[in-house]
């Protein structure tokens, strides 16, 4: 379970006094706990699933990529480097990212599975991809590929 891996990594970072890594792992845990609290009110569940944790990690990674870009443009290279270090820690817990060819194959398979015929079926395809490949592809970029595959 992903939550267990994160907790184990947190303990190891504490023992080995890796302060930067520890800080990032604490941020991840805080984000997960926030989502746990929000989910608890909805249906009485005890915690978020691994898929939801992957979504949290993907969002955190994406935020840091954007922050690093902004810091670089502003000439704040030390802050950009800190963001990249956090990205590395976050990505340790995410599944391997699919390459462009694998993404294309997954899109074609999803189109075939849902029987999509036009751009109006794009939501069904994206839902299929998100349920099968959460955290493995950038869905912002995939949307454009799906649209071009349908036209």
Last residue of a domain, one of 58, 73, 91: 91
Q: Note the pLDDT of residue 43.
A: 57
> Dihedral of CA 117/119/121/127: which sign?
positive
SS3 track for 30-51: HHHHHHHHHHHHHHCCCCCCHH
85 and 14 belong to one structural domain: yes
DSSP 93: T
Q: Note the pLDDT of residue 24.
A: 95
14 and 56 belong to one structural domain: yes
64 and 47 belong to one structural domain: yes
User: What is the C-alpha end-to-end distance of the chain, expressed in Å?
Assistant: 40
114 and 135 belong to one structural domain: yes
Does residue 8 sit in helix, strand or coil? helix
28 and 70 belong to one structural domain: yes
DSSP 15: H
75 and 129 belong to one structural domain: no
84 and 104 belong to one structural domain: no
20 and 41 belong to one structural domain: yes
* Whole-angstrom Cα Rg for the chain: 18
Domain count, the chain: 2
Per DSSP, helices labelled H in 115-138 are 122-133
Beta strands in 9-149 (DSSP E): none
Spell out the per-residue pLDDT of the chain, length 151, in tens: 889 999 999 999 999 999 999 999 999 999 999 998 887 765 555 678 888 888 899 889 989 999 999 999 999 999 999 999 999 999 899 888 888 899 889 998 988 898 888 888 888 898 888 888 877 887 888 888 888 888 7
42 and 68 belong to one structural domain: yes
Cut 0.75: pTM above it? no
Tokens representing 48? 């978020």
The CATH number linked to 6 is: 1.10.1510.10
7 and 81 belong to one structural domain: yes
Closest to 107 measured CA to CA, from 89, 124, 125:
125
The CATH number linked to 116 is: 1.10.10.410
81 and 18 belong to one structural domain: yes
Tokens representing 118? 């036009």
Residues spanned by the domain of 112: 100-150
Name the burial class of residue 90, with classes exposed (0-12), middle (13-18) and buried (19+) by CB atoms within 10 angstroms of its CB: buried
How much is the mean pLDDT over the chain? Answer: 88
118 and 137 belong to one structural domain: yes
């Amino acid at each position: 379970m992903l939550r267990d891996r994160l907790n184990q990594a947190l303990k190891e970072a504490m023992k080995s006094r890796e302060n930067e890594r520890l800080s990032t792992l604490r941020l991840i845990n805080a984000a997960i706990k926030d989502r746990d609290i929000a989910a608890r009110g909805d249906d009485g569940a005890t915690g978020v699933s691994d898929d939801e944790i992957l979504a949290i990690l993907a969002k955190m990674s994406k935020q840091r990529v954007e922050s690093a870009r902004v810091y670089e443009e502003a000439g704040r290279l030390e802050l950009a480097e800190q963001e990249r270090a956090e990205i590395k820690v976050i990505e340790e817990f995410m599944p391997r990212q699919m390459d462009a060819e694998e993404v294309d194959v997954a899109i074609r398979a999803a189109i075939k599975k849902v029987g999509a015929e036009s751009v109006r079926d794009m939501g069904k395809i994206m839902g299929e991809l998100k349920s099968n490949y959460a955290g493995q592809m950038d869905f912002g970029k995939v949307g454009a590929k799906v649209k071009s595959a349908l036209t």
